[in-house]
Structure 1
Amino acid sequence: MNQTRTFLMFALLAVAYFLFLAWEKDYAPPPPTTASAVSAATPAADAGVPGAIPAASAPGSAATPTIAGDTAPAAPAAAQLITIETDVLKLSVDTRGGSLVHADLLAYPQAPRTHKAPNPPPTVLLTSDPERYSVAQNGLVSSSDAAPADQPNHLALFHSEKTAYALAAGQDELKVDLTWQDAAGLKVTKTYTFKRGSYVIGVSQRIDNGTAAPWQGNAYQQLLRVEPPKAGNWLANYTNPETRSFQGAAWYTGEKFEKLPFKDFAEPKDQLNAPIKGGWAAMLKLYFVTAWIPPADQTEQYVTQTINPDSAHPRYLIRTVGPALSVAPGQSLTSPSRLYVGPNKQGSMDAIAPGLDLTIDYGMFKVIAVPMHWVLSQFHAITKNWGVAIILLVLLIKGLSWKLTAIQYRSSARMRKLQPRVQALKERYGDDKQKMQMAMMELYKKEKVNPMGGCLPVLITLPVFYGLFFVLEYSLELRHAPFLWIPDLSAPDPFYILPIIYALVMLGRM
């Protein structure tokens, strides 16, 4: 009876706390508008970031290139935003460096579609908002002693023929050119190539050397991001899959998948500075990923860094620097790369680049989770509802583990039957633990009861249910998938009906 009262007390406290969270979400005052939030309307590079970022040596280069910082020494007002829209992406490219400073994923809304809000805004994966800053930059850096302001890096001012581009109906490919040229005759054309239905962006930098001297340098790509803001209380963060999931950089070495959370960027032992061939560099977010994918046959220097670590919003960087390039006078050379800005979808990532499917990180349970996701997808193909598919998957798992469950229940029943005799042994031997343990083992042996019989089946099935948890946690398909009164299967039950039902069932079994 005391256990029942204790359980009810904790259950009521939990329900009260969840109700308070719901009230706080609806009636909490809006946060005050900060100066940084107001300045986010200006998408050009801001002046609060240091003006120099030490670069890693590019493999095979004659000199260590210096890559400029994340702020433009020239007046940013001269830059403008170029809008690009395809059937799946809506992007903003800043002519200051030709950087991608905003990306909307048109097929993935921020919130579930409802009768009240049938057209919620799309998910934003890249943004120049200082509090959620996440951009993709690339450029060229010269091995000469030219000032960063005079190089075609991510701070140079490029030119575009138009301010808006769109993939027209019936058009399968869209190319957007941005050009830069110095007074000596060096010309760089940065071309973004988009294809219908694809989140992979082709990026090339063509160097036309119209000067009288050879041009030598390196191409580089980098991703910058700040740590996303969190909710005000720990439970809201814990129950929100967006905030409790991994946030940070990731890369693939051609053989191994590595991750670096934002909190470890400053640790010298964790920082990345290594040559990698056939890899990629990414910033991860639950369900979505941004990744630079250099040519697979090319060795590049991969680097991680923290920019302005003492600021309110330090920026975390992962960069790849390509091998040395040399362009003779009157000659041309093109440096290609690819950028992925899109969903982290099971079954399609590995076709984009080897190892990119590892960004769906099931960890040590991958061997269980991947086939489990396949079974879940097959159930969905039949039922057309992810909620029903989850129920069928759980029933299948319970059916396959029925024998183990039966063993567990039988063992537990035998142990309960022996409890009066075990209690009598405790009273008989008192503080003599050794004699009491020997008597209990003799009792178990005589009655043919294994005291571990109830635990062993649980330990065997535990990895399976951990695998199921990771499948439900990281499956993009469950995001905003409705089921009965639940509008989003990737989020907690908004009315806490399932936790209450579970609590009542557990109470009834006590």
Structure 2
Amino acid sequence: MESQRSFLLIGLALVSFLLWQQWQKDYGPQPVKQVQSEQSAQMQDDGVPSADVGADVQDMPNNSGDIPGMEPVVQKNQNRMVHVQTDALNIQIDLRGGDVVSANLQDFPVTQGSEETYSMLRQQGGLYIAQSGLIGRNGPDSNSQGRPRYATEQNEYVLEGGTLEVPLVWQSKEGIRVVKTFVFEKGSHTVKVNYSVTNNTGNAISFQQFGQFKQTTEVPDGGNMFMPTYRGAAYGTEDDQYTKYTFDDIEDKNLKKTTPAGWVGMLEHYFVSAWVPPTQKTNELYSKLSANQYAIIGFKGEPVTVNAGDSTTISADLYVGPKDQETLANLARGLDLTVDYGILWWISQSLFSLLKFLHSVVGNWGVAIILITVLVKGVMYPLTKKQYESMARLRNLAPKMQQLKERFGDDRQKMSQAMMELYKKEKVNPMGGCLPLILQMPIFLALYWVLLESVELRHADFALWITDLSVKDPFFVLPVLTGASMWLLQKLQPTTVTDPMQQKIMQFMPVAMSVFFLWFPAGLVLYWLVSNIITLIQAKLIYASMEKRGLKTK
């Protein structure tokens, strides 16, 4: 019991520190940063990979007025933009380079009930775009005159059937013809980017495809100390399925890894954008810092040679959407790990599967959270029972422990020996109350990350005033009830603490935890509240059973 109190004291200290840290972040003095304007930075560097096959990622040359890096990022000319709309995506493609410069998720509103859809890729409010093309000796994106200007038959495309193809065409004076086709499918957030290259020159040509994300580094991470979420880059290789690569990492060192298959991406809380190159090819994953303001992560494929008169087709997948584990797992090995459950992912994935099954039965994510909490607490009941019985036996030894203190005084060695003999005689394990608690913690932490990371809970309705389980309780009812349940648990567990200061700290703990839970998503607080209520019921049953066996509980 005393060790459990110690854990609570440590938790209170941690909460206090985190509160102070968050206050400093929100209201403390902020460092002054000298940031280039988005337009001027873009004029200096377009961030496209080197034209030299196999060379490091470098800046494109900027000695020509036709180079995209010499033009503003924000382009008002709609004739340069192709608008594509499906049931899942609302996309704009810049004909200069064929980059996706805007992508909104049609089935994900910004806020619950809002008509404004969630923006993944964009030019305004912090640059975040998906660039792609062909580089190398004869690649159009390596042309000294800048990136290619594609042509298309129309500027508006709408998906009406099951599949929509948007072809962009470019042809050089020498006779190299490139058709860059974006393929959309109904209900899918995956866009296949195909390149059909025809060599009408008299010589063999060579090139390699690339795909990359370019994003402003000065963006909020989207989380806070109470709900830590990652925002930044990531990649996967054959050896390391999922590795975070933060903006700071990109600033410090350029990524350069060669791997079969692989993927690169940019992550937000519930969403991810990812380039997935051909899985049967060997690809180079890279990163760079562009114009001291833009983080870039991307891939370069194998060099491709096309003989005179021949043609070839290569492709890559662009995913822009939610962190749907099943979809991501089918798209690339390790991409589903962007739903970051941490080191306990193997437990979390099992719990998530169970949560999805319960939701399929009851049709309500809040009820599914209640049911999974009941099931988990039920499975762990034997450990809980052992924990409470061990604590009760330790409390019953309190008078004898006091006698030992009076007998041996400050002689710690003799005191320790006497205590061990007493534990052995009474058949009490002093760690018996802690061990079950330690064994339970991985499961509770794994479930915590499931509720924190799962996009399925975003805008998920529960009941009454809880209309979105992914945001905090608007009326703070659940945090208050959680604090009250903790207070009842304290009353149910008599303490042997006699120091007045420690007693006051323990009494304040439920209040501190209620404040702590104010920022938690309602789904997480619901989980803790139900867990506390079940613990109260289990404790009552355990104490009643011990009283019947003649074991004192108070």
Q: TM-score, normalised by structure 1?
A: 0.81
68-77 vs 178-187, which deviates more?
A: 68-77
Aligned partner of 2:170 in structure 1 is 180
Structure 1 residue 274 corresponds to structure 2 residue 261: no
Q: Is the 8 A contact 1:67 1:141 kept in 2?
A: no
Superposition map of 1:278-293 within 5 A: 278-293=261-276
- Unpaired segments of 5 or more residues in structure 2? 28-34, 491-554
C-alpha distance in structure 1 between counterparts of 2:36 and 2:284, whole Å = 37
User: What amino acid sits opposite 2:347 in the alignment?
Assistant: I
User: What amino acid sits opposite 1:265 in the alignment?
Assistant: I
C-alpha distance in structure 2 between counterparts of 1:173 and 1:147, whole Å = 28
Q: Is the 8 A contact 1:190 1:205 kept in 2?
A: yes
Among 187, 193, 197, the alignment partner of 1:197 is 187
Aligned partner of 1:220 in structure 2 is 210
Aligned partner of 1:80 in structure 2 is 80
Q: Is the 8 A contact 1:66 1:141 kept in 2?
A: no
User: What amino acid sits opposite 2:458 in the alignment?
Assistant: R
Aligned partner of 2:238 in structure 1 is 254
Q: Report how far residue 157 of structure 1 moved.
A: 2.0
Q: Is the 8 A contact 1:65 1:217 kept in 2?
A: no
Q: Report how far residue 325 of structure 1 moved.
A: 1.9
C-alpha distance in structure 2 between counterparts of 1:106 and 1:254, whole Å = 33
Quickly say closer, same or farther: Cα 1:378–1:231, change in 2 above 3 A.
closer
Q: Report how far residue 477 of structure 1 moved.
A: 0.9
Aligned partner of 2:526 in structure 1 is none
C-alpha distance in structure 2 between counterparts of 1:56 and 1:179, whole Å = 21
Q: Report how far residue 253 of structure 1 moved.
A: 1.5
C-alpha distance in structure 1 between counterparts of 2:173 and 2:316, whole Å = 27
Q: Report how far residue 490 of structure 1 moved.
A: 1.8
User: What amino acid sits opposite 1:161 in the alignment?
Assistant: E
Q: Report how far residue 148 of structure 1 moved.
A: 4.2
Superposed CA offset, 1:182-201 (max 9, x none): 33333322110111111111
C-alpha distance in structure 1 between counterparts of 2:420 and 2:448, whole Å = 37
Q: Is the 8 A contact 1:56 1:273 kept in 2?
A: no
Quickly say closer, same or farther: Cα 1:49–1:246, change in 2 above 3 A.
farther
Q: Is the 8 A contact 2:390 2:432 kept in 1?
A: yes
Superposition map of 1:18-57 within 5 A: 47-50=42-45, 55=50
Q: Is the 8 A contact 1:99 1:135 kept in 2?
A: yes
Aligned partner of 1:412 in structure 2 is 391
C-alpha distance in structure 1 between counterparts of 2:451 and 2:269, whole Å = 12
- RMSD of aligned C-alpha atoms? 3.3
Structure 1 residue 97 corresponds to structure 2 residue 100: no
C-alpha distance in structure 2 between counterparts of 1:317 and 1:56, whole Å = 16
Q: Is the 8 A contact 1:265 1:306 kept in 2?
A: yes
Aligned partner of 1:506 in structure 2 is 486
Q: Is the 8 A contact 1:191 1:205 kept in 2?
A: yes
Q: Is the 8 A contact 2:57 2:288 kept in 1?
A: no
Structure 1 residue 304 corresponds to structure 2 residue 287: yes
Aligned partner of 2:433 in structure 1 is 454
Q: TM-score, normalised by structure 2?
A: 0.75
Structure 1 residue 356 corresponds to structure 2 residue 335: yes
Superposed CA offset, 1:229-270 (max 9, x none): 3389xxx7223x4xx2122222222342122122222333xx
Superposition map of 1:367-386 within 5 A: 367-386=346-365
Q: Is the 8 A contact 1:225 1:316 kept in 2?
A: yes
C-alpha distance in structure 2 between counterparts of 1:211 and 1:74, whole Å = 30
Three-state SS of the structure 2 residue aligned to 1:349 is helix
Aligned partner of 2:542 in structure 1 is none
C-alpha distance in structure 2 between counterparts of 1:147 and 1:201, whole Å = 21
Q: Is the 8 A contact 2:42 2:70 kept in 1?
A: no
Quickly say closer, same or farther: Cα 1:111–1:418, change in 2 above 3 A.
same
Aligned partner of 1:421 in structure 2 is 400
Aligned partner of 2:308 in structure 1 is 329
76-85 vs 464-473, which deviates more?
A: 76-85
Question: Percent identity between the aligned chains?
Answer: 35
Among 241, 265, 276, the alignment partner of 2:250 is 265
Superposition map of 1:465-504 within 5 A: 465-484=444-463, 485-504=465-484
User: What amino acid sits opposite 2:169 in the alignment?
Assistant: T
User: What amino acid sits opposite 1:163 in the alignment?
Assistant: N
Aligned partner of 1:29 in structure 2 is none
Q: Is the 8 A contact 1:56 1:321 kept in 2?
A: no
211-220 vs 173-182, which deviates more?
A: 211-220
- Unpaired segments of 5 or more residues in structure 1? 26-33, 40-44, 114-118
Aligned partner of 1:120 in structure 2 is 115
Q: Report how far residue 64 of structure 1 moved.
A: 7.2
User: What amino acid sits opposite 1:72 in the alignment?
Assistant: P
Q: Report how far residue 326 of structure 1 moved.
A: 2.1
Among 317, 324, 327, the alignment partner of 2:296 is 317
Among 414, 420, 426, the alignment partner of 1:435 is 414
Q: How many residues align?
A: 459
User: What amino acid sits opposite 2:232 in the alignment?
Assistant: G
Higher helix residue share: 2
Aligned partner of 1:139 in structure 2 is 133
Superposed CA offset, 1:344-374 (max 9, x none): 1132322223332222222321221111111
Three-state SS of the structure 1 residue aligned to 2:251 is coil
Aligned partner of 1:238 in structure 2 is 225
Superposed CA offset, 1:379-399 (max 9, x none): 111211100100110010111
User: What amino acid sits opposite 1:209 in the alignment?
Assistant: N
C-alpha distance in structure 1 between counterparts of 2:437 and 2:362, whole Å = 30
Q: Report how far residue 46 of structure 1 moved.
A: 6.2
